[in-house]
Chains A and B, each alone.
Chain A
């Protein structure tokens, strides 16, 4: 999405970006900068098939990250023949991700093209989030609110007349659309991404900057929507009961606690706390909060 629209504007100013915004260049960039091995149609099909397990290891901390990486693995192994690069890429893909399980192959196709062109890990992660997160709402509208009710409604009305064809009709209609989109989007996105490789390669820094802008704006939005933390506490003043969350916090700053908690976690991560420690802290916090009745 990002890369495509930028094509026209950049072509003539390739080498004119002297600024280096990357602080940890070595850790961020792949050692082997040559374009990775091309992926065959079978590779893309394999990826699309594996994308069925996007939510296999779903969890509250990284959400779909484990399943996302699972889907990309065979292609990543082919692209990164250097073991250090493969490890770098895998680490990057273990970052929090949540997207629509039906439309995910669209993101995967683009990301694999970026991996092939050896963009740095931060750009890839930013692009991944910028494309993946908005797909959630689109996919919900397409599948849960449109396709499922249509197929289910027709199937159920046939079933209520006692016909097994209801089940058959439902399964076939739903999955023709489902698999058609899943495999079609994978190929479409990968081709689109590959066509953009020369442009991305020539404008690495600029693409990275643009991806960071969109990526971090989306992360800011996601912190407000994905992190859920509300207090159930209330203050009783004589006759009046003031609910802290809905009467005070929400009026001053919605998503105040989610932001504060995220920033607290962020500062602790920066101080070198391991994610494992933070997860334990969060679990204790949640359970104690529930027992004491403030959460």
Chain B
């Protein structure tokens, strides 16, 4: 079965919105169990779409993004995989193998976007300085458009040109450079923390910073536990101060008499 240009475009647009839903909206229509039937509907074979979607849902279950670690991209995997399952009649799980290079490519696109958006934050600081609310909104819309376009390309190209031909585009991506950006991405929050600490870290609070670091690095405690422990410390401090204040007030009273 041949895929028409119109169908390929429709699938690309589906990828655009599903890609956004992964981070924004989060209605989870980007899950295979929903995307499968949608791909099937576009290609005129709803039944295969439903069943392929169900099978892929089981494959990806539990692969949701946990603590920032990125699993193989579910959207490109599902859209490209289901499209090939429908057009070539291969098994769903075999079909995803064809989609893997594109799922990896979109992941690189995301890494690139998350790096490229970091300098944009300085622009946002400037907007904030001028109380320019429209500027802040524009940056958000721009970032979503770029992200969606990555998804569009990574779905449209392999589906329209065929996986073999489209691989050429993907292989152009400089892998080592992308890996380097990934490493830089891991370090980047250090800059964000530094900016925060410049405002918030007064000498009196350095001990608490150390306590938090020790609890996380050595004791590997969850952040919730650390926050509750810190709350306890804050409360102890709080009550102690209240007592001395009350005592001081009483003394003043007695002196007065």
Contacts and interface: CB of A to CB of B under 8 A. Distances in A.
Closest 6 A/B residue pairs (Cβ): A286-B184, A220-B212, A159-B54, A96-B192, A228-B186, A287-B180
Given A93-B128, A156-B32, A229-B186, 14 more contacts: A57-B139, A60-B188, A90-B133, A156-B53, A166-B50, A178-B27, A216-B201, A217-B209, A219-B197, A220-B214, A222-B223, A224-B217, A266-B193, A282-B187
B176 A285 contact: no
Given A59-B114, A136-B67, A210-B234, A162 B119 contact: no
A101 B201 CA distance: 27
Interface stretch (A29-37, A167-175, A191-199, A233-241): A167-175
B255 interface: no
Interface residues of B, number: 117
Interface string A101-140: 1100000000000000000011001100110011011101
Contacts of A39: none
A164 interface: yes
Contacts of B184: 60, 282-283, 285-287
A269 B187 contact: no
A265 B194 contact: yes
Given A96-B196, A213-B234, A134 B128 contact: no
A135 B115 CA distance: 25
A217 B121 contact: no
Given A148-B64, A228-B186, A2 B231 contact: yes
Nearest to A211: B234
Nearest to B204: A21
B173 interface: no
B98 interface: no
A206 B241 contact: yes
Given A216-B200, A218-B212, A254-B218, A175 B27 contact: yes
B140 interface: yes
A56 B143 contact: yes
A266 B181 contact: no
B198 A270 contact: yes
Contacts of B113: 59
B125 A91 contact: yes
A282 B191 contact: yes
B182 to A, nearest CB: 8
Given A122-B199, A210-B237, A229 B193 contact: no
B6 interface: no
Nearest to B188: A60
Interface in A201-220: 206, 209-220
A1 interface: yes
B166 interface: no
Give the interface size bracket for A toward B.
35 or more
Contacts of A10: 238, 242
Contacts of B226: 134, 217-218, 221
Highest count of chain A CB atoms <10 Å: which of B143, B198, B233: B143
Given A144-B64, A221-B216, A227-B186, A62 B209 contact: no
B53 A171 contact: no
B257 interface: no
A248 to B, nearest CB: 15
B36 A213 contact: no
Contacts of A289: 180, 183
Interface string B205-235: 1101111111111100111101111110111
Contact of B31 (A170, A215, A279): A170
A87 B131 contact: yes
B144 interface: yes
Contact of A63 (B189, B229, B230): B189
B188 A70 contact: no
A283 B181 contact: yes
A61 B249 CA distance: 48
Interface stretch (B7-15, B55-63, B100-108, B154-162): B55-63
Nearest to A12: B246
A277 B64 CA distance: 34
Given A56-B141, A214-B230, A286 B128 contact: no
Contacts of B26: 52, 101-102, 178
B140 A59 contact: no
A283 B184 CA distance: 5
Contacts of B31: 148, 152, 155, 170
A137 B223 contact: yes
A63 B188 CA distance: 9
